[in-house]
Amino acid sequence: MKSYLAAAIQMTSVPNLHKNLAQAEELIDLAVRQGAELVGLPENFSFMGEEKDKLSQAEAIASETQTFLKKMAQRFQITILGGSFPVPVENTGKVYNTTVLINPNGEELARYYKVHLFDVNVPDGNTYRESSTVVAGKQLPPVHFSENHGNIGLSICYDVRFPELYRHLSDKGADIIFVPAAFTAFTGKDHWQLLLQARAIENTAYVIAPAQTGNNYGRRLTHGHAVIIDPWGVILADAGEKPGIAIAEINPSRLEQVRRQMPSLQHRVFS
């Protein structure tokens, strides 16, 4: 693993696939021009809209999104995390909430279907029932092993509230953990940063958290603050509240230093 720049992209995705892909391409280009080699997009980056519209367009969204990600990886010669997007599940009328990791050759390195679905009555009056349209994944997320970029673990949004998933990634050797999200504005203000810092600190790993921000559609408001956090819990970059990028160095020497100074993973009693 070498030192390199990573970018967490922040978007305001809307119910229009092609507008979202154009916005994503613009921000990927911005990240690459600043030197990023590893780029992450947020949850639902290629479509955020009503559930019925997501389902009716799911096949087109899945197909065009995967083609787009391979094209971006090849054009810019980067490794890219495709935040998340819907992939139809045969004979269910539902989709998987899916993230993929693509290398600079356009080859898929890893894929993960979100296991924790957001079925919550938020105190601001909004109700979310992700399970009404999404099939939960049944496999723990993978860790992709890379000589250049370190060992990369995958997760999606609501997963961040379940530390056992991240301990699994840590046990599998993760150095960098992706948390692409579309965190609600209401919960984000209290929990987003704290949860991400906790996952970084307890697993002594870098956390890269691309995010949705602003008013995506209707009453759907997202928190923003895409961040990159180091293994000590230090926020290295924060994209704020507008579309843009958080970019920071992933440094193996820092990773080794923190793990040496705070060897908590070696001190575990229960597993």
Catalytic positions, written as ranges: 43, 114, 157
> Are 124 and 186 within 8 A, CB to CB?
yes
Task: Compute CA distances 61 → 24, 29, 189, whole Å.
Answer: 14, 21, 30
> Are 219 and 126 within 8 A, CB to CB?
yes
> Are 111 and 70 within 8 A, CB to CB?
no
Q: Is 72 helix (H, G, I), strand (E, B) or coil?
A: helix
User: Six-digit token pair at 266?
Assistant: 């070696």
> Are 52 and 34 within 8 A, CB to CB?
no
User: Six-digit token pair at 243?
Assistant: 């579309």
Distance CA(250)–CA(133), nearest Å, equals 36
Nearest to 39 by CA among 29, 51, 48: 29
DSSP 8-state secondary structure symbol assigned to residue 192: I
